[in-house]
Chain A
Amino acid sequence: MPRFLNATSGEVRLGGADVRTLPAGRLRERISVVPQHSYLFSGTVASNLRMGAPEATEDELWQALQLAQAGDFVRGLQDGLHAAVAQGGAGLSGGQRQRLCIARAMLRAADLYIFDDSFSALDYATEAAVREAMAPALEAATVIMVAERIPTIMGADRILVLEDGRLVAQGTHAELLESSSTYREIAESQLALDEQP
């Protein structure tokens, strides 16, 4: 959708318009992405967060950090918002990096939010808290979440089940459990991995 790649055939439409006809810059302004590999640049926490919104005030930065459940650990850093970040975010744990990337994405008021497996490094409790905190902010927008864990996407309006690059099923969680064997398989294998004693 952000046109990092162009479709070989068929169309991807945003707001009724084929994305290939929209200037890439304008297109990406309306989209906020949390990519799969959380990458931070050398600078400060603030400079990284402002990538999505150069005009953001410090209050707005703290708000976004709060949404992403990252407020506490940033406050705990020696220079807070102005704490130095090394290239690639080295020195921060995987979960901390991801939360900063989520905060970065949340700072941008977009029509479409894309979370590409953005919660993988977070434990379930933190992840649930983040999703809950983000919900009001995301209400008006379209959200696309790529996830591996069923609990992450269980409450979605529509779930797309992909296999080998093909869409094999779509529907709500309840509908899919009934209608799609693939979905059921995935749910059950996740169950099997976390069996209660």
Chain B
Amino acid sequence: MKGTHAARRTTGTFLPAAKRLLGLLRPSGGRMVLAVAATCGFAALNVAAPKLLGDATDVVVDGFMHGTFDAGKLAMLLGVVSLMYVGTSVFNWVQGALTAQAVQRLVFGLRAAVEDKLHRLPSAHFHEQARGDVLSRATNDVDNISQALNQLLTQLIMSVLMLCGSLAMMLWISPLLAAIALVSVPVSTLITVFMARQSQTYFSAQWASTGELNAHVEEFITGHEVIKAFGQQDTAAAIFGRGNDRLARASARAQFVSGAVQPLMVFVANLNYVAVAVVGALQVAAGVMTIGGIQAFIQFSRLFTQPMGQIGGMLTLMQSCAASAERVFALLDEPEVPREDGVPVRQDSLRGRIDFEDVTFAYTPGVPAASGLSFSVLPGQTVAIVGHTGAGKTTVVNLLMRFYELDSGRITIDGTDISTVPVDSLRSNFAVVMQDVWLFSGTVRENIEYGSPGADDDRILAAAEASHVDHFVRSLPAGYGTVLGDDGDSLSQGQRQLITIARARLADRSVLILDEATSSVDTRTEMQIKLAMNRLRHGKTSFIIAHRLSTVRDADLILVMDHGRIVEQGTHSSLLSVDGHYRHLYEAQFRGVDRELGAIRRHRGRHAAGRQRYRESGL
């Protein structure tokens, strides 16, 4: 499936993504420092306690072997140890709370960054990337990072500190035994690194498959009616099934490989234990160490190997987290529409003179959508754009609004090159009513208000009335408070378009861009739309993608498009006088209708005559 950007990794290192992710923790630096301090406290107490327990054991053993049982000392030692363990609980809790806060702040920042990024991505990005995959990065991957990071930070710090602490204690008790224990370290490390490389590929595949599956689901749900109509449910289910399989296999492999790490580490730890126990016993027999010392040492070696196993176990989590982080960072690193500081063209000063100078542009390189386009529009004029479907009529609009950058040539408004104007400022001068009506799931009022956020009710009502919206909205059960579904289900297509006209009217911009293709509209509503559009256009420069003869006839300038080129320009009469593209278009497009409607007219005439005769006959 096109455009899901499966990350292909040849090396197993996840370090770059991990480092970047950890770097994002910096704002919570203070909290993290405290968390680490709490963990130190935890570790210190946890590490000291066994030593004291060792001493306590010695007291008991002394009492047993030499008969000098010091109950008081024993009690004291045990009491202190109890306090220590209470302390560790407190430190544990503090550490957990602080880490959780830091992680949530990080994830919050990440989500905000992703949302912000989506607004700055060029339109081309959404054409290439499957929507579902982009969504997956913003949701699934961020969630994964959140959960994984929380667990990781808590356990990782603790494990590392415990490791160091127990090692220190072990060295203090017996350097020889410590050396034996240390043998296990390089062995474990080698295992870890090896497994990490293997499973990283699988983790990346897992999260890429998730994105892909998400994209499939999104598409099937949007087009479900078509799928049902053609009885393609089984095929769709099969595609989903295959995607699901891929995901399952990738996940299983990833989990299996990285899940094998912990058992291996535990195995190594157990071998270690055996070695220590044997050597230790020999030492005691030789009188070099006390029993208590051995007991403490064994406890420490457990405290040493346990974190090692845990770190190995956390490998799964680290890699999964890194794989998701990579996907999110890939999205954040996408080239965006540059935020330039140019000359802001304020609305009031705009008179609305527009010039296209030798503009050339292609959506995909090699397939020009506009070639050498040049024309001038004076303020207040109406430009009609005509041509067959796919001739490039929307291209002119896309370029004017800078949804795409030109390949060559330039476009100016009031003499200012639009590429020097900040995009937001540029677009604030246009009001658009397009063929694909877009209304969001809010109330009717909110949808109209979208044209000028914060407008008061009077202005909204005035815009609605002028656009023939008020009448039918009042007949709705909740009036202006009626919530529109994603497809505006409660309204007809024509009514939805009228609302977009009301929205454009409220926005009150100097330049209008209208697409007259009122698809799926009954003729009475189409009348209303035509009137509303005419009213809207009054006094403004308008670009109209024209479908009606009357519009074209009255336009100040007609641009005839064919295969992305302007082939002719002029007024209706000037173009008709030439036997060119326009004339053919006119004859094919409008004459055909005229002929048929002429038949209606003639018939109506006959009908009227018939009625007249009927009346006259006095029946």
A148 within 8 A of B: yes
| B399 smallest CB distance to A (angstroms) | 16
A22 within 8 A of B: no
Residues of A within 8 A of B232 (CB): 51
Residues in B71-117 with C-beta less than 8 Å from chain A: none
**CA–CA, A193 and B225, complex, Å:** 33
| A101 smallest CB distance to B (angstroms) | 8
**CA–CA, A25 and B232, complex, Å:** 9
**CA–CA, A88 and B223, complex, Å:** 8
**CA–CA, A92 and B526, complex, Å:** 25
Residue with the greatest number of chain A CB neighbours at <10 A, chosen from B588, B600, B603: B600
Residues in A123-164 with C-beta less than 8 Å from chain B: 123-126, 128, 148, 150-151, 154
**CA–CA, A125 and B389, complex, Å:** 11
**B222 touching A39, Cβ below 8 Å:** yes
**CA–CA, A25 and B228, complex, Å:** 8
**CA–CA, A185 and B549, complex, Å:** 20
Residues of B within 8 A of A87 (CB): 130-131, 215, 219
**CA–CA, A191 and B596, complex, Å:** 10
B127 within 8 A of A: yes
**A94 touching B127, Cβ below 8 Å:** no
Point out the residue from A28, A123, A188, A190 that lies within 8 Å of B228, measured CB to CB. A28
**CA–CA, A185 and B367, complex, Å:** 46
Residues in A106-133 with C-beta less than 8 Å from chain B: 108, 117, 120-126, 128
**CA–CA, A125 and B391, complex, Å:** 15
B520 within 8 A of A: yes
**CA–CA, A105 and B231, complex, Å:** 12
**A124 touching B219, Cβ below 8 Å:** no
Given that A193-B550, A194-B590 are contacting pairs, would A188 and B527 also be in contact in the complex, using a CB cutoff of 8 Å?
Answer: no
| A128 smallest CB distance to B (angstroms) | 6
**A35 touching B519, Cβ below 8 Å:** no
Given that A29-B231, A120-B520, A194-B549 are contacting pairs, would A42 and B2 also be in contact in the complex, using a CB cutoff of 8 Å?
Answer: yes
B547 within 8 A of A: yes
A19 within 8 A of B: no
Residues in A1-31 with C-beta less than 8 Å from chain B: 2, 4, 24-25, 28-29, 31
Point out the residue from B227, B229, B597, B603 that lies within 8 Å of A194, measured CB to CB. B597
Point out the residue from B222, B227, B388 that lies within 8 Å of A88, measured CB to CB. B222
**B592 touching A148, Cβ below 8 Å:** no
Residues of A within 8 A of B522 (CB): 148, 186
**CA–CA, A165 and B319, complex, Å:** 59
B601 within 8 A of A: yes
B548 within 8 A of A: yes
**B596 touching A196, Cβ below 8 Å:** no
Residues of B within 8 A of A126 (CB): 388-389
A184 within 8 A of B: yes
**B594 touching A121, Cβ below 8 Å:** no
Point out the residue from A91, A117, A191, A197 that lies within 8 Å of B597, measured CB to CB. A191
**B596 touching A151, Cβ below 8 Å:** yes
Task: Using CB atoms, name the residue of chain A closest to B389.
Answer: A95
Residues of B within 8 A of A167 (CB): none
**A28 touching B600, Cβ below 8 Å:** no
**B2 touching A84, Cβ below 8 Å:** yes
Residues 503-539 of B, flagged 1 when their CB comes within 8 A of A and 0 if not, give 0000000000000010111111011001000000000
B390 within 8 A of A: yes
Given that A86-B127, A125-B588, A150-B596 are contacting pairs, would A42 and B521 also be in contact in the complex, using a CB cutoff of 8 Å?
Answer: no
**CA–CA, A177 and B606, complex, Å:** 11
Residues of B within 8 A of A197 (CB): 553
**B390 touching A96, Cβ below 8 Å:** yes
Task: Using CB atoms, name the residue of chain A closest to B236.
Answer: A41
Residues of B within 8 A of A24 (CB): 228
A71 within 8 A of B: no
Residues of A within 8 A of B597 (CB): 150-151, 187, 190-191, 194
B235 within 8 A of A: yes
**A39 touching B226, Cβ below 8 Å:** yes
**CA–CA, A84 and B601, complex, Å:** 46
B363 within 8 A of A: yes
**A177 touching B604, Cβ below 8 Å:** yes
Point out the residue from B130, B523, B607 that lies within 8 Å of A178, measured CB to CB. B607
Q: A52-B230, A88-B219, A193-B548 are in contact. List 19 more A-B contacts (CB 8 A).
A: A4-B225, A33-B229, A86-B2, A93-B389, A96-B389, A121-B389, A123-B388, A123-B389, A123-B547, A124-B588, A124-B592, A148-B522, A150-B597, A178-B607, A191-B597, A193-B526, A193-B550, A194-B549, A195-B550
Can you spell out 12 A-B residue pairs with CB atoms less than 8 angstroms apart?
Answer: A28-B229, A51-B227, A86-B2, A90-B126, A94-B436, A96-B390, A124-B592, A124-B593, A150-B596, A177-B604, A189-B526, A194-B548
What 4 pairs across the A-B complex have the smallest Cβ distances? A95-B389, A120-B519, A125-B588, A93-B390
A residues near B, CB below 8 A? 2, 4, 24-25, 28-29, 31, 33, 35-36, 39, 41-42, 51-52, 54, 73, 78, 84, 86-88, 90-96, 104, 108, 117, 120-126, 128, 148, 150-151, 154, 174, 177-178, 184-197
